[in-house]
Amino acid sequence: MKKVVQITLGVLTAIGGFVDMGDLVANAETGARFRMNLAWVVLVGVVGIVVYAEMAGRVAAVSQRPVFELVRERLGPGPGLVNLCASFFINFLTLTAELAGVAIALSLVASVHYALLLPIAAFLVWLVIWRMPFERMERLFGLGGLALLVFAVTVWKLGPDWGQLFDAAASPHIPRDETPFTYSYYAIALFGAAMTPYEVFFFSSGAVEERWTERDLALNRANVLVGFPLGGLLSLALMASTHLVLAPRNISVDDLSQVALPAAFVVGKLGLAAALIGIFAATFGAALETALSAGYTVSQYLGWQWGKYVKPREASRFHLVVLLAIAGALLFALSGVDPIKVTEYSIVLSAAALPLTYLPILVIANDRDYMGDKVNGRLLNAVGTVYLIILVIVSVAAVPLIIITKGGA
Amino acid sequence: MTAGRVLDTGLQLLDRQLVDRSGRLCGKVDDLELTEPDEHGNLYVSGILCGPGALLLRTGHTRLGSWVRRMLPVAFDNPGAVIVIPLQRVSDIGSHVTLSLDSEQVPTFAAERWVREHIVSHIPGSGVDAPR
């Protein structure tokens, strides 16, 4: 049991990355709009994040240096600052959407308008960061997010023709009423969601928070190999369930409550309850992940003491940044901005900044100064390099696609 | 001090994390202080400069950098702070730079202390050790 619990860092990181507010909607939306024609992107994303999160976790375990320190050290202060601003901005938009997601999940139960619950959601997120020990936080929300497995149960219970579903996913094409541009836009949204940079910020900082050392490299591998594929599985299950339940009925997904529909249709009340718990835990987990990442990135760029492993007063500036990020995101969410649009843009925009985060990881994972004999093998470097090329292509295409498709419309 | 170790300062020293003697994080190697060239024209590293002022100066923002360097000590009630950490206070250089000082003795700690005293210590629970 102890071993099972030790992989919750990977599970929480992946759930926060793959099935947070933005992805819940993006996956459900792509399932309803593109059926299974974009499923392959999730697989490509899972392999990418597994490869890079393993490297980031290994660097953190061997040298105690988390990702944003590597960014500053390898890119230098100038480009490092560009990455910091981009990452902070993305974090902020995502945090805004997650706070809205937590509030919406609560409002589905409490039957009050979600805006009224926003301050409560923000306060709870801050309180957990301020007081709850890192490991307990990780277990509570990582394991809670597993309630989303109800979507896998949904697909199972529907008893689809598995061969046909697999064929549909394996021979992707652009649906007739979509253009290559909208297809690419949603492909980038899914890929960006899988490889969103706050996952590696959070995962590597979490490894330092939990005091991983060279002895924990197997644990690191187990975390990424269980956590991220599980995240990918959840997002595919979500996509398949909307493809099977909503697409035939011509229901498109534009808000969070519709995401839970397939589970309610197929599994009933219990399914709806599990879906709501899962959505709450996943959005709350992602809110923690992005709020902490705001503090991690700024502190690690400037060299401040950070982390939950010391008393809050000993990492004052870190906690101040986290507090300000949450307060700012709350105000932005209260301003009435559409949380779904916010996440969609933030995912695609984040794709534009991806190489700035992943290049330093690849370089340091090969640096014997940091890694001793734990440097990358040849195969890992080959895969890492291929992904870096993909990341560069994606980053160049991201912003033009937002403009051409007018945000995927 | 001996000339002992040769490092590529750009790759192996600049922008690394500073860690104090008890393992606390306490700044970055934002810039380096060099000696006057000796008879062979060699330069030696004599100290580590840290703080946003030093970083701005290094990246070419001379005006803003010297203004920040003048203003920060005033803003955080720490006048006359010297931001050079002499190389004698460096005990190890690896994936991070270890100092033989406490983080409180590093001049850039003034900002951390200010935030601690004026904001964070007023929030209940700020001094509680996170149970593990």
What secondary structure does DSSP assign to A287-320, as a single string?
A: HHHHHHHHHHHHHHHHT----TTS-GGGGHHHHH
Give B15-43 pLDDT, tens digit per residue: 999 999 999 999 999 999 888 888 888 88
**What is the dihedral angle through the alpha carbons of A190, A193, A194, A196, rounded to the nearest 10 degrees?**
150
Question: What pLDDT, on the 0 to 100 scale, is given for residue A388?
Answer: 96
Q: pLDDT band for position B81 (50/70/90)?
A: low
Q: Are strands B97-99 and B17-19 parallel, antiparallel or unpaired?
A: parallel
Q: Are A133 and B132 in contact (CB under 8 A)?
A: yes
Q: Are A322 and A353 in contact (CB under 8 A)?
A: no
Q: How many whole angstroms from its chain centre is CA B106?
A: 7
Q: Which of A308, A310, A369 to mutate to test the interface with B (most CBs of B within 10 A)?
A: A369
Question: What pLDDT, on the 0 to 100 scale, is given for residue A382?
Answer: 97
List C-alpha distances in Å: B59 to A73, A81, B51, B63. Answer: 14, 11, 13, 11
Q: Are B50 and B57 in contact (CB under 8 A)?
A: no
Comparing A240 with A47, which gets the higher pLDDT?
Answer: A47
Q: Which of B13, B16, B24, B28 to mutate to test the interface with A (most CBs of A within 10 A)?
A: B28
Tokens of A353: 């900044």
Q: Are B21 and B102 in contact (CB under 8 A)?
A: yes
Tokens of A85: 């601003």
Question: What pLDDT, on the 0 to 100 scale, is given for residue A256?
Answer: 79
Please report where in the chains the tokens 């990358």 appear, as a residue: A376
Sort out which chain A residues have CB atoms less than 8 A from B30's CB and list them.
Answer: 77
Tokens of A249: 């009925």
Give A100-159 pLDDT, tens digit per residue: 999 999 998 888 988 899 999 999 999 999 999 999 999 999 999 999 999 999 999 988
Question: What pLDDT, on the 0 to 100 scale, is given for residue B102?
Answer: 92
- Measured from the Cβ of residue B105, the count of other Cβ atoms closer than 10 Å reads 14
Report the mean per-residue pLDDT for chain A: 90
Please report where in the chains the tokens 């991690």 appear, as a residue: A296
A381's CB contacts (< 8 A; 6+ apart) are: A362, A366
Question: What gap in Å lies between CA A343 and CA A282, rounded to an integer?
Answer: 15
- Give which of A306, A82, A385 is closest to B103, Cα–Cα: A306
The minimal CB distance from A133 to the residues B17, B27, B131 is found for: B131
Task: Tell me if chain B has a CB within 8 Å of the CB of A133.
Answer: yes
Q: Are A216 and A61 in contact (CB under 8 A)?
A: yes
Question: What gap in Å lies between CA A27 and CA A190, rounded to an integer?
Answer: 7
List C-alpha distances in Å: B2 to B5, B87, B88. Answer: 8, 11, 11
Give A39-84 pLDDT, tens digit per residue: 899 999 999 999 999 999 999 999 999 999 999 999 999 999 999 9
Sign of the Cα torsion A145, A361, A219, B21 reads negative
The minimal CB distance from A305 to the residues B24, B126, B131 is found for: B24
Please report where in the chains the tokens 């995101």 appear, as a residue: A329
Q: Which of A313, A317, A324, A364 to mutate to test the interface with B (most CBs of B within 10 A)?
A: A313
Question: What gap in Å lies between CA A343 and CA A339, rounded to an integer?
Answer: 6
Helices (H) and strands (E) in chain B, counts: 4, 7
Contact B115 A134 (CB under 8 A): no
Residue in chain A nearest B130 by alpha carbon? A133
On the question of pLDDT at B2 being above 60, the answer is: no
- Give which of A239, A285, A196 is closest to A16, Cα–Cα: A285
Question: What gap in Å lies between CA A296 and CA A25, rounded to an integer?
Answer: 27
Question: What pLDDT, on the 0 to 100 scale, is given for residue B1?
Answer: 46
Question: What pLDDT, on the 0 to 100 scale, is given for residue A275?
Answer: 93
A269's CB contacts (< 8 A; 6+ apart) are: none
Question: What gap in Å lies between CA A46 and CA A32, rounded to an integer?
Answer: 21
Residue in chain B nearest A133 by alpha carbon? B130
Question: What pLDDT, on the 0 to 100 scale, is given for residue A4?
Answer: 65
What are the φ/ψ torsions at residue B84 (nearest 5 degrees)?
A: -95, 130
Please report where in the chains the tokens 């033989």 appear, as a residue: B100
Task: Tell me if chain B has a CB within 8 Å of the CB of A64.
Answer: yes
Give A288-346 pLDDT, tens digit per residue: 999 999 999 999 999 999 999 999 999 999 999 999 999 999 999 999 888 777 777 77
Q: Are B83 and B50 in contact (CB under 8 A)?
A: yes
On the question of pLDDT at A228 being above 50, the answer is: yes
Averaged pLDDT for residues B9-18:
88
Question: What pLDDT, on the 0 to 100 scale, is given for residue A2?
Answer: 60
Which residues between 101 and 130 in chain A have a beta carbon less than 8 angstroms from any beta carbon of chain B?
A: 130
For residue A30, with 0-12 CB atoms within 10 Å meaning exposed, 13-18 middle and 19 or more buried, which class applies? buried
